[in-house]
């Protein structure tokens, strides 16, 4: 598969009460430690697969498998664009193969060996918790945690409800949309797989390009006065290319993600 990342133009961005405090507050640990090298851990994919009884079950499972892989592959670019050195996907998988702990244990454990062995300053732990569908909306619930390998402190923790409007035909199959057709052709994906991959890539970009600019860049000091993302947010991509961002509550996220079927 050709893994070239396609930059898709966005027509409009509507922000609805989505900004948190200044970056200096939200990313205080990052501004204190000034990490330069970031390692993206493999996606912790907790999304439930369907019991395979029909061809559609296998197709769905393959779609969300591919979306998780694509989320991992596209997480490096927005971090790199902020001026950090990011360990590439192939090297990241090699590093991951040497780790025996689960992601949960790593996030609360001692990560100093990554600093000592690989020169890594921080580790990003991305998690997919759940895929859901509400009429013509496809929804993914994800979590991003950035942890220091120097102090083991959290530098970022964001929970995201990502939604994409996906109209379907009378058979329940997704219709091809203008923002996805070129993407699907370029990546040699089915239409449904392209919809999911497109969503996680755009969600990655929105969340991770909010990281403070690397201390290697002259914008580092000035960037601290811009607004950070809230800890819980909703990312919505509509049929016409409009993106809507809204702050949501912890209770809403947890109810939808962990309680509702």
Report the relative pairing of strands 44-45 and 122-134 from DSSP bridges. Answer: parallel
Which numeric CATH code is attached to 12-259? 3.40.50.10610
Model pLDDT, residue 98: 95
The DSSP line for 75-128 is SHHHHHHTT-EE--HHHHHHHHHT--S-HHHHHHS--HHHHHHH---EEEEEEE
Q: Which residue has the tokens 């989505």?
A: 18
Distance CA 180, CA 12 (A): 17
Measure the CA–CA gap between 93 and 36, rounded to whole angstroms: 20
* In the chain, where the domains are located: 12-259
Q: Evaluate if residue 8 carries a pLDDT over 70.
A: no
Q: Across residues 161-169, what is the average pLDDT?
A: 90
Give tens-digit pLDDT for 212-257.
999 999 999 999 999 999 999 999 988 777 899 999 999 999 999 9
Query: What pLDDT sits at residue 260?
Result: 84
pLDDT > 90? residue 157: yes
The average pLDDT across 83-107 equals: 95
Of 76, 60, 67, the C-alpha closest to 45 is 67
Distance CA 53, CA 58 (A): 8
Residue-wise pLDDT for 127-149, tens only, equals 999 999 998 899 999 999 999 99
Q: Taking 50 as the threshold, does the pLDDT of residue 3 lie above it? A: no
**195 in helix, strand or coil?**
helix
Place of tokens 């890594």: 120
43 half-sphere exposure, CB direction, 13 A CA radius: 24
DSSP structure class, residue 53: S
The helix/strand/coil state of 148 is strand
């Amino acid at each position: 598969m050709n893994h070239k990342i396609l930059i898709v133009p966005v027509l409009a961005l509507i922000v609805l009460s989505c900004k948190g405090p200044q970056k200096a507050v939200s990313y205080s640990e990052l501004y204190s430690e000034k990490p330069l090298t970031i390692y993206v851990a493999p996606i912790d994919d907790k999304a439930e697969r369907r019991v395979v009884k029909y061809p559609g079950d296998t197709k769905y499972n393959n779609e969300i498998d591919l979306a998780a892989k694509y989320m991992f592959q596209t997480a490096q670019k927005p971090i790199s664009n902020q001026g950090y050195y990011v360990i590439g996907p192939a090297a990241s998988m090699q590093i991951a193969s040497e780790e025996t702990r689960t992601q949960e244990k790593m996030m609360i454990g001692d990560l100093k060996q990554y600093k000592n062995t690989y020169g890594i300053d921080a580790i990003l732990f991305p998690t997919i918790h759940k895929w859901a569908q509400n009429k013509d909306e496809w929804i993914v619930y994800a979590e991003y945690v950035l942890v220091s390998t120097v102090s083991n402190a959290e530098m970022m923790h964001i929970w995201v409800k990502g939604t994409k409007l996906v109209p379907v035909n009378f058979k329940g199959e997704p219709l091809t949309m203008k923002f996805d057709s070129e993407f699907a052709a370029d990546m040699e994906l089915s239409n449904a797989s392209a919809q999911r991959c497109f969503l996680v890539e755009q969600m990655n970009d929105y969340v991770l390009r909010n990281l403070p600019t690397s201390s290697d860049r002259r914008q580092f000091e000035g960037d601290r006065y811009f607004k950070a993302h809230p800890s819980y947010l909703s990312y919505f991509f509509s049929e016409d290319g409009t993106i809507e961002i809204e702050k949501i509550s912890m209770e809403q996220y947890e109810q939808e993600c962990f309680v509702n079927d």
